[in-house]
Amino acid sequence: MRAVQLEEFGGPEVLRLTDLPVPEPGDDEVLIEVSRAGINFADTHTRENTYVARYELPLVPGGEVAGSTPDGARVVAMLGGTGGYAEYAVAPRATTFPIPEGVEEGAALALLIQGLTAWHLYRTSAKLAQGESVVVHAAAGGVGSLAVQLGKPFGAGRVIATASSEDKRQKALELGADIAVGVNADDLAGALREANEGRRVDVVFEMAGGRVFDQSLEALAAFGRLVTYGIASREQNELKSGYLMRKSKAVVGFYLGHCLGRREMMEDALADLFDRAARGELRPQVGGTYPLSEAGRAHEEMQGRRTSGKLLLDPTA
């Protein structure tokens, strides 16, 4: 089968097309003929081996696929981090879900890792209360474009988007943000307060690290929660416990891996996302479909901050 395999960790050039045997499912696993593989920002970390989970070579990157099982069922599946950039993948039965009628495969993939993340940022980590303000960074991205749309249905009083370009800020406004701020503003903390009508903000979903983390924490109100769920800049931050106490601020970590194996956190949350999509309340944004042979270009564009929405790979091309 056609697959992208890493023989070394490194830049997008290490994503090379090769020919591999079709994988064999073990007990409690399912073989999936892949029609679309999902690309996640985490895959750029896997490619460099710089993320939460650590990997051994060689490996096929890609944490999620959509396709069909041998009995013809249309499914979407999380793979446990690797194995997705290929014509066939094996997935744990526990993280393989039927795609509801009327939902396209790209939309189902958007709602899986990125959608579940957006859902849990609100419900599990921030525990957003009615009327609170929320800042969504990278608001036109895979997670961000869904988090913006879930804001009002989940009770947000004000949804403040940030993005690095005018096009992406426009997209965030179209998706329901009340206001969109340039993330590269010199005084980002001040810009976030201004966007919240002069008040500090209640909740921030922070995935960049470095100065965006520091400035977001500064903009947070007393009893506010900053949820840290990514390090796109590759810069980690350090914190003083005394600062959090003096300001009554909370910093909460979130990693979707910890939801695996918890039925209500996976199946129930995904069912809610599928229902909202079916009702038209949530519009998953497919931002591009790349041939498998151009996985490297997809990574380059994603890391170069030139993409929006969900990115997909077509394993047949």
Ligand X SMILES: NC(=O)c1ccc[n+]([C@@H]2O[C@H](COP(=O)([O-])OP(=O)(O)OC[C@H]3O[C@@H](n4cnc5c(N)ncnc54)[C@H](OP(=O)(O)O)[C@@H]3O)[C@@H](O)[C@H]2O)c1
Residues of the shown chain interacting with ligand X in the complex, contacts defined by CB under 6 A: 40-42, 113-114, 117, 138, 140-144, 163-164, 168, 183, 207-208, 229-230, 232-233, 254-256, 302-303, 305, 307
Nearest to ligand X of 5, 117 (CB atom): 117
Name which of 22 and 260 has its Cβ closer to ligand X: 260
- Please report how close the Cβ of residue 172 comes to ligand X at its closest, in angstroms: 9
Copy the structure tokens of residue 116: 């579940």
| C-alpha 225: how far from chain center | 19
Distance CA 120, CA 37 (A): 23
Count, residues in the chain: 317
The span from the CA of 50 to the CA of 11, in Å, is: 12
* 8 A C-beta contact, residue 203 and residue 130: no
Output the residue with the shortest Cβ distance to ligand X. Answer: 141
- Taking CA atoms, 184 is separated from 55, 61, 213, in Å, by 33, 31, 12
User: What is the C-alpha separation between 126 and 225, in angstroms, rounded?
Assistant: 6
Closer by beta carbon to ligand X, 35 or else 44: 44
Token digits for 238?
A: 């350090």
Closest CB 39 distance from ligand X, rounded Å: 8
The nearest distance, CB 56 to ligand X, in angstroms, is 21
Q: How far is the CB of 284 from ligand X (least distance, A)?
A: 12
Taking the least distance from each CB to ligand X, the nearer of 168 and 276 is 168
Q: 33-57: buried (b, 16+ CB within 10 Å) or exposed (e) per residue? A: bbbbbbbbbbbbbbbebebeeebee
Q: Measured from the CB atom, is 88 or 122 closer to ligand X?
A: 122
> What's the min distance (Å) between Cβ of 102 and ligand X?
24
Looking at the Cβ atoms of 88 and 254, the one nearer to ligand X is: 254
Question: For residues 55 and 302, what is the distance between their CA atoms, to the nearest angstrom?
Answer: 21
Q: Is 18 in a helix, a strand, or coil?
A: strand
> In whole angstroms, how close is the CB of 255 to ligand X at the nearest point?
5
